[in-house]
């Protein structure tokens, strides 16, 4: 029954999401594998279908309902509420009518917060310590010291985690504060919807009535002119009122293409901090923390020494991939009932490990090989035929073929415009020599390890 499904949903999406988005739904029936629901507004229908449809499907199936799809419609029974929270910037809250029509302040149309994204679960290291400290400061909810806080960095480095952590912390410490977190995409979506439904004043009122506004992935609004315009006005209105703004993006403000200059300069006014790519220590720290967190879930969990170190060393792309690898490893190990060893990790993570292999360039190879054999880098690509130079050059050709995806003609170009048959010959020569010359084999192996690390 829907009631039972609701109990499960409450657990999986969390209480506040549940109350805001799921509880107002009315299930009207299941027919031909389609579960139909009614929600009070168009916005809710869209929101729930974008953010919670999968969870609803999953829990219904869990409860044994044969369902392929969920469908949301605006409820025919209740009229669409004319307005959401409208509170002009300057009007004091206590003067608002407290009748049954007064809506409570916690109904901000933000994106769902992930309760797991807290400061406690955020591992701090050199690459992110500044961003973390700044986020902590904002989360104290004290007087605004920098505005906005602009966090930027590559995919999966923890921007969204930090923003949720700020919101989660503020909810705890300063429950009276109106904190609104949403992605730039959602900002645009709400804006366009308000235009369409002629509720732009409501939209403005709502966004100007918050104490903290957090907009994630702001690069999304680049090139979207009217959304940028609205964002700019919202931004200014809040800054003027001394309200805190937190913004994230995948690059520095000045580097976002098709973003208006006045917005760029506004975004640079406060504190701009970047999250650097993770280093080995941070990755290991994250893996250890996550492993501890998993212990409850997998009681018999056994991990051989060196596995986490191996992963931290090999998966350098981003934290999301690192987490994904760990999750898969634990699931796999518990499924087959084996200890997590290096072999098991290599077996079950082949694709991830391959995808995150470090990309070695031909220039690096030439440099390392030249260093090793103590010859000049310029001789690597030069014409000299002396054995003492030709041999290292051939080793570099061999390694270029082995460690990069470059074709023979491309490699030839990088070796002073040599013909691809010359490269082919060089590679064959090294292969041939290696069968008899153990010193050469050792050299090549050593160079390979050096280049791959
Ligand atoms: P971004 O928004 O920068 O793309 P996210 O904040 O979504 O990245 O982070 C991706 C995943 O990595 C999330 O599950 C997040 O919890 C995790 N993560 C990133 N950095 C850290 C960290 N320093 N400590 C713990 N988990 C992290
Ligand atoms: Mg993000």
Indicate if 341 and 441 belong to the same structural domain.
no
How crowded is the C-beta side of 411, counted as CA atoms within 13 Å? 28
Do 394 and 322 reside in the same domain of the chain? Answer: no
Phi and psi dihedrals of 107, rounded to 5? -90, 55
Domain termination residue (choose one: 308, 336, 355)? 355
Q: How many C-beta atoms surround the C-beta of residue 442 within 10 A?
A: 11
Cα 155 to ligand 1 centroid, rounded to whole Å: 9
Answer for the pair 235, 266: CB distance below 8 angstroms, yes or no. yes
SS3 state at 75: coil
pLDDT for position 92: 34
Number of Cβ within 10 Å of residue 400's Cβ equals 27
Q: Using an 8 Å Cβ cutoff, are 72 and 42 in contact?
A: no
Residue 159 annotated as binding?
Answer: yes
Nearest atom (ligand 1) to Cα of 153:
3
DSSP 8-class letter at 295:
T
Helix count and strand count (H, E) for the chain: 21, 8
CA distance 181 to 183: 7
Q: For a pocket test of ligand 1, which of 129, 161, 164 has the largest count of ligand atoms closer than 8 A to its C-beta?
A: 161
pLDDT in tens, the chain (453 residues): 787 888 888 888 887 778 778 887 888 888 888 999 988 777 778 888 888 999 999 999 998 888 999 999 877 644 333 333 332 333 333 333 333 333 334 456 777 889 999 999 999 999 999 999 999 999 999 889 899 999 999 999 999 999 999 999 999 999 999 999 999 999 999 999 999 999 999 999 999 999 999 999 999 999 999 999 999 999 999 999 999 999 999 999 999 999 999 999 999 999 999 999 898 899 999 999 999 988 888 888 889 999 999 999 889 878 999 999 999 999 888 888 889 999 899 888 988 887 777 678 899 999 999 999 999 999 999 999 999 999 999 999 999 988 887 889 999 999 999 999 999 999 999 999 998 888 999 999 889 888 876
| Atom 11 of ligand 1, residue of closest alpha carbon | 320
CATH assignment of the domain containing 380: 1.10.1750.10
Helix axes 184-196, 200-207, angle to 10 degrees: 150
Residue 242 tokens read as: 């001394």
From the CA of 92, how far away is ligand 1's center (Å)?
Answer: 38
Q: What region does 305 belong to: left with phi over 0, alpha with psi -120 to 50, or beta?
A: beta
95 domain residue, yes or no: no
Q: What is the DSSP string of 344-409?
A: HHHHHTHHHHHHTPPPPPHHHHHHHHHHHHT--HHHHHS----HHHHHHHHHHHHHHHHHS---HH
Residue nearest to atom 13 of ligand 1 (CA): 320
Identify the residue whose C-alpha is closest to ligand 1 atom 1: 156
Number of domains in the chain: 4
Residues with CB under 6 Å of ligand 1 are: 117, 121-123, 128, 153, 155-161, 286, 319-320, 323
Residue 349 tokens, joined = 């993570």
**Does residue 119 lie in a domain region?**
no
Q: Which residue has the tokens 């490990």?
A: 353
Q: Is 278 helix (H, G, I), strand (E, B) or coil?
A: coil
Claim to verify: residue 50 and residue 188 sit in the same structural domain? no
CA dist list (Å): 39 to 10, 194, 215 = 17, 18, 26
**Strand, helix or coil at 415?**
coil
Beta bridge partners of 272: 150
My answer on whether 311 and 205 are in the same domain is: no
Whether residue 432 lies inside any domain: the answer is yes
| Same domain, residue pair 430 and 325 | no
Residue with tokens 């729930």: 48
Residue 93 within any structural domain of the chain: no
Pocket test for ligand 1, best of 157, 251, 319, 327 (most atoms within 8 A of CB): 319
Ligand nearest to the CA of 289: 1
Query: Does 94 map to a domain?
Result: no
**Final residue of a domain: which of 337, 355, 373?**
355
- Distance separating alpha carbons of residues 297 and 292, to the nearest angstrom: 10
Is there a single domain that holds both residue 341 and residue 404?
A: no
CA of 405 to the centre of ligand 2 (A): 31
**Residue 380 falls within a domain, yes or no?**
yes
Judge if 440 and 411 occupy the same domain. Answer: yes
Instruction: Say if residues 311 and 325 touch (Cβ distance below 8 Å).
Output: yes
**Phi, psi torsion values for 182, nearest 5 degrees:** -160, 165
| Nearest atom of ligand 1 to the alpha carbon of 285 | 24
List the one residue out of 59, 52, 57 whose CA is nearest residue 8: 59
Residue 6 lies in a domain: yes
436 plus 342 within the same structural domain: no
Q: Quote the pLDDT of residue 358.
A: 65
Ligand 2 geometric centre to CA of 250 (Å): 8
State whether 351 and 448 are in the same domain: no
Query: Which bound ligand lies closest to the C-alpha atom of 158?
Result: 1
| CATH code at position 7 | 3.30.300.180
0.90 surpassed by complex ipTM: yes
Residue 252 · residue 152 · CB < 8 Å:
yes
300, 322, 355: which is the final residue of a domain? 355
| Nearest residue (CA) to ligand 1, atom 18 | 158
CATH of the domain at 287: 1.10.8.60
Q: What is the DSSP letter of 180?
A: E
In this prediction, residue 81 carries a pLDDT of: 34
Ligand positioned closest to the Cα atom of 320: 1
Question: Nearest C-alpha to atom 19 of ligand 1 is from which residue?
Answer: 158
Counting ligands in written order, the one closest to the CA of 157 is: 1
Residue 42 is predicted with a pLDDT of 73
158 is in an annotated binding site: yes
Domain of residue 270: give its range. 126-275
> Which atom in ligand 1 lies closest to the alpha carbon of residue 155?
4
Which run of H or of E encompasses 39? strand 34-39
Q: Are residues 293 and 375 in the same domain?
A: no
State the pTM of this model.
0.63
| Residue keyed to tokens 């880098």 | 377
Same domain, 333 and 393: no
Report yes or no on 140 lying in a domain. yes
Please check whether residues 271 and 131 belong to one and the same domain. yes
Q: Nearest Cα to 271, choosing from 88, 146, 117?
A: 146
Which pLDDT value is given to residue 76? Answer: 62
| CATH number for position 163 | 3.40.50.300
Distance 248 CA to ligand 2 centre (A): 8
């Amino acid at each position: 029954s829907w009631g039972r499904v609701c109990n499960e949903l409450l657990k999986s999406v969390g209480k506040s999401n549940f109350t805001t988005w799921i509880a107002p739904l009315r299930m009207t029936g299941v027919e031909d594998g389609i579960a139909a629901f009614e929600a009070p507004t168009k916005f809710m229908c869209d929101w729930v279908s974008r953010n919670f449809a999968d969870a609803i499907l999953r829990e219904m199936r869990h409860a044994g309902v044969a369902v392929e799809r969920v469908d949301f419609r605006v409820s025919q029974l209740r009229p669409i509420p004319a307005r959401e929270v409208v509170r002009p910037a300057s009007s004091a809250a206590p003067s608002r009518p407290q009748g049954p029509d007064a809506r409570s302040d916690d109904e901000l149309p933000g994106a769902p917060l992930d309760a797991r994204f807290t400061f406690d679960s955020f591992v701090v290291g050199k690459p992110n310590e500044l961003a973390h400290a700044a986020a902590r400061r904002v989360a104290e909810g004290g007087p605004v010291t920098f505005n906005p806080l602009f966090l930027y960095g590559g995919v999966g480095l923890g921007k969204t985690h930090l923003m949720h952590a700020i919101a989660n912390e503020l909810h705890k410490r300063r429950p009276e504060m109106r904190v609104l977190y949403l992605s730039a995409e959602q900002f645009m979506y709400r804006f366009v919807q308000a235009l369409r439904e002629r509720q732009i004043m409501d939209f403005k009122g709502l966004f100007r009535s918050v104490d903290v506004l957090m907009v994630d992935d702001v690069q999304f609004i680049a090139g979207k002119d009217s959304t940028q315009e609205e964002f700019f006005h919202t931004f200014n209105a809040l800054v003027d009122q001394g309200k805190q703004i937190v913004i994230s993006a995948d690059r520095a403000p000045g580097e976002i293409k098709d973003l208006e200059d006045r917005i760029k300069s506004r975004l640079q006014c406060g504190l701009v901090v970047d999250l650097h790519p993770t280093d080995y220590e941070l990755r290991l720290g994250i893996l250890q923390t996550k492993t501890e967190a998993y212990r409850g879930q997998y009681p018999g969990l056994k991990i051989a020494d060196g596995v986490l170190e191996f992963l931290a060393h090999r998966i350098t792309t981003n934290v999301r991939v690192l987490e994904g690898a760990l999750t898969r490893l634990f699931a796999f190990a518990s499924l087959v009932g084996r200890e997590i060893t290096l072999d098991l990790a290599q077996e079950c993570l082949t694709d991830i490990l391959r995808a995150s292999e470090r990309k070695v360039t031909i220039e690096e190879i030439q440099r390392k090989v030249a260093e090793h054999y103590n010859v000049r880098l310029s001789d690597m690509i030069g014409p000299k035929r002396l054995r003492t130079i030709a041999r290292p050059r051939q080793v570099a050709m061999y390694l270029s073929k082995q460690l990069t995806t470059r074709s023979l003609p491309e490699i030839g170009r990088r070796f002073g415009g040599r013909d691809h048959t010359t490269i082919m010959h060089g590679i064959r020569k090294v292969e041939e020599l290696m069968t008899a010359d153990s010193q050469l084999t050792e050299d090549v192996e050593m160079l390979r390890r050096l280049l791959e690390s």
